[in-house]
């Protein structure tokens, strides 16, 4: 299932969400034009769990933040930015601009922490905004469970576009992450995907939604 858009209008212009998308794209462009020929430079800014558990320092703190804006390829950043584009504007609308930015960064930090705890000896560099976006998805499930999402659904050889309630789409998403995360325990990340970062971010977003949007009232189709 690939979400395409939601039927959930925002009341205010989501400029922080657009800035986050622009920052991710800009870092990706810099990464693949300037740093592509220097693997050591990429390693310097990626999150490496074994480096964190060996002795946490300011360099590790920096890598947690910088890794949130780096991506492994076009498909990686394309999928992440699609999800952020669809779901981030409504979370910013519910929380406000400044709180949304803080929420996003906290979600990414929690996701990175859970990933490190799940693979403390891993030397595999980790990059991507997936953990922070997972927090956005967790908050969206809590705040807008009835919102309908236009979704590209693959049924064998047949492809259909259907409207799916957010509670089903995002519920299926997190169940897939948990299943894949459990399958990856005790071994390397499956396909290079940090599933526990997704799970940690999603859980953080679901918990923090009530704190960052305490006066939220769901508005669908207005």
> Which pLDDT score is estimated for 31?
87
Segment 79-87 mean pLDDT: 97
> Which pLDDT score is estimated for 21?
98
DSSP state letter for 13: -
Residue 127: strand, helix, or coil: coil
CA distances from 188 to 23, 44, 84, 99 (A): 29, 21, 27, 35
d(C-alpha 20, C-alpha 69), whole Å = 9
pLDDT over 90, % of the chain = 65
Q: How many CB atoms lie within 10 A of CB 103?
A: 26
- Residue 69 in this model has a pLDDT that exceeds 50: yes
Segment 46-56 mean pLDDT: 90
d(C-alpha 190, C-alpha 188), whole Å = 6
Domain map (residue ranges) of the chain? 2-212
> Which pLDDT score is estimated for 184?
74
> Which pLDDT score is estimated for 188?
52
Segment 186-213 mean pLDDT: 83
Instruction: Pick the most confident of 5-14, 47-56, 152-161, 195-204.
Output: 195-204
Per-residue pLDDT band for 91 (boundaries 50, 70, 90) equals very high
DSSP H or E segment with residue 220: none
Q: Tens digits of per-residue pLDDT, 150-197?
A: 999 887 778 889 999 999 999 999 999 999 888 877 655 444 678 999
Per-residue pLDDT band for 217 (boundaries 50, 70, 90) equals low
Secondary structure of the chain: what % helix, strand, coil (to 5)? 65, 10, 25
Give the homologous superfamily in CATH for domain 2-212: Rhomboid-like (1.20.1540.10)
> Which pLDDT score is estimated for 221?
44
> Which pLDDT score is estimated for 187?
57
Per-residue pLDDT band for 37 (boundaries 50, 70, 90) equals low
Residue 51: strand, helix, or coil: helix
| Phi/psi of residue 127, nearest 5 degrees | -135, 160
Does residue 88 or residue 182 have the better pLDDT? 88
- Residue 114's closest CA among 138, 140, 144? 138
| Mean pLDDT, the chain, whole residue set | 89
């Amino acid at each position: 299932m690939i979400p395409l858009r939601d039927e959930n209008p925002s009341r205010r212009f989501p400029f922080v969400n657009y800035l986050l998308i622009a920052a991710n794209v800009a870092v990706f462009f810099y990464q693949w034009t300037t740093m592509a020929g220097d693997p050591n430079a990429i390693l310097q800014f990626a999150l490496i769990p074994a480096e964190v558990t060996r002795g946490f320092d300011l360099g590790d703190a920096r890598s947690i933040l910088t890794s949130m804006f780096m991506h492994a390829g076009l498909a990686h950043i394309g999928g992440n930015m699609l999800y952020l584009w669809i779901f981030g504007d409504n979370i910013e609308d519910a929380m406000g601009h400044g709180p949304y930015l803080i929420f996003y960064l906290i979600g990414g930090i929690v996701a990175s922490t859970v990933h490190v705890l799940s693979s403390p000896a891993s030397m595999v560099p980790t990059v991507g905004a997936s953990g922070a976006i997972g927090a956005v998805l967790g908050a969206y499930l809590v705040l807008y469970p009835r919102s309908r999402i236009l979704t590209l659904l693959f049924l064998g050889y047949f492809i259909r576009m259907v409207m799916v309630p957010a509670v089903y789409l995002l519920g299926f998403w997190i169940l897939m992450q948990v299943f894949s995360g459990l399958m990856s325990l005790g071994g390397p990340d499956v396909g290079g995907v940090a599933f526990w970062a997704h799970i940690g971010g999603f859980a953080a977003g679901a918990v923090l939604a009530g704190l960052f949007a305490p006066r939220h009232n769901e508005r669908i189709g207005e």
